[in-house]
Amino acid sequence: MGTVKSILGLVGWLFASFAAGWIGSRYMPGEWYASLAKPAWTPPDAIFAPVWTVLYVLMGVAAWLVWRRAGFSGAGAALVLFIIQLILNALWSYLFFGIHRADIAFFDIVVLWVVILAVVVLFWREDKRAGALMMPYLVWVGFASCLNFALWRLNVGPVA
């Protein structure tokens, strides 16, 4: 693969990853989230943007490594699942922050975690570095799943 094609591929995969983040960022926590009862282990709001920025970079680089090594013809299932997890990632923000449905968002994030796990396994088979780069994302979404569940259960019933 040529250098220009490789660089364009990296830019493309980073763009795809950050596009999911951008879509998700259209739904900000706001007053509704501030009004929720939260567990003591809820991270400070200032943590989320830097963590997600790093995760989107890691995700984009991981997908690029797999694409560069095998392309869609050799790693189509892994790359399609990667795209599906980006969609589920963006959807979660809409469900949780957009329409205030922590219950539905919880089911989305559980499916997201399972798909990320499958991506980790498939990426690992293609390039161990790519699988390893996806691990922090898997761990963070596991933590976010626990937080989503806690927020749902602590705030059962109508929340303004």
**Confidence at residue 1, expressed as pLDDT on a 0 to 100 scale:** 74
**Predicted confidence (pLDDT) per residue in 81-106, tens digit:** 999 999 999 999 999 999 999 999 99
Residue 79: exposed, middle, or buried by beta-carbon count in 10 A (0-12, 13-18, 19+)? buried
User: Which CATH number does the domain 3-154 belong to among 1.10.10.10, 1.20.1260.100, 1.20.5.50, 3.30.43.10?
Assistant: 1.20.1260.100
pLDDT band for position 156 (50/70/90)? confident
Q: What are the pLDDT digits (tens) for 8-45?
A: 999 999 999 999 999 999 998 989 999 999 999 999 99
pTM of the model: 0.93
Task: Report whether 155 contacts 37 (CB < 8 A).
Answer: yes
Gap between the Cα atoms of 35 and 123, Å rounded: 40
For 55, residues 6+ apart whose C-beta sits below 8 A from its C-beta are 136, 137, 140
Q: What does the DSSP 8-state code read for residue 156?
A: -
Domain ranges in the chain are 3-154
What pLDDT, on a 0 to 100 scale, did the predictor assign at position 118?
98
pLDDT tens, position by position, 58-89: 999 999 999 999 988 999 999 999 999 999 99
